[in-house]
Amino acid sequence: MALVASIAVAPVFADDGHDHDKPAAAGAASPRVEAHSDLFELVGVVDKGQMTVYLDRYATNEPVLGAKVEYEAGTNKGVAAPQADGTYLIKFDALAKPGELPFSFTVSAGSDTDLLAGELDLKDPHDRAGEGTRSWLKWLGYALAAALTLALAVFLTRKYKTTRSARLNG
């Protein structure tokens, strides 16, 4: 019981600069695929069923403009559409559905060509909502299991002492 009480009370004693259990930022980060090579670094961010691809030179972090970015994800293949802001856009139906998609990108910029690969994990947004709650429930379960183990140990110790005492006196 002391263990349960200490777990429940510990956050109360945290003062400024010692509140390590700060709440996570509201909302979940958008699903993304990341890949890099010696030449290029690519990040694809999925939002509302489409992927925005950010492409940079790996060594300098300089945006790569006017490149040809071909993609393959399962049965989906195509060329990312260049955008005015220097990004590239990919659209297909599977980007709006939960699941995992392996991606491969062929990037051609000037005389440089490279193949990049990554994994995109599109989780169901409803599964993300309770992640913080599940963490507390997990620790509460551990605390309850520890309390029950302690209670069982006390019960068995008392029973052993009572039985031993009865044998010695009986």
Q: What is the pLDDT of residues 66-111, one digit of tens each?
A: 999 999 998 999 999 999 999 999 999 999 999 899 999 999 999 9
Sheet (strand 88-91) strand order: 32-36, 40-47, 50-57, 88-91, 81-82
Give the span between the Cα atoms of 70 and 109, in whole angstroms. Answer: 12
* Architecture field, domain 32-127: Sandwich (2.60)
pLDDT above 90 for 166: no
- Model-level pTM greater than 0.85? no
CB 80 within 8 A of CB 86: no
pLDDT above 70 for 50: yes
Q: Looking at residue 152, what is its pLDDT?
A: 84
Q: What is the pLDDT of residues 106-150, one digit of tens each?
A: 999 999 999 999 999 988 655 555 455 567 677 777 788 888 888
How far are the Cα atoms of 17, 129, 155 from residue 79, in angstroms, in the given order? 49, 34, 69
pLDDT above 80 for 47: yes
Q: What is the pLDDT of residues 19-35, one digit of tens each?
A: 455 554 555 678 999 99
Which two structure tokens, joined as six digits, stand for 59?
Answer: 């060594």
Q: Looking at residue 26, what is its pLDDT?
A: 53
pLDDT above 90 for 57: yes
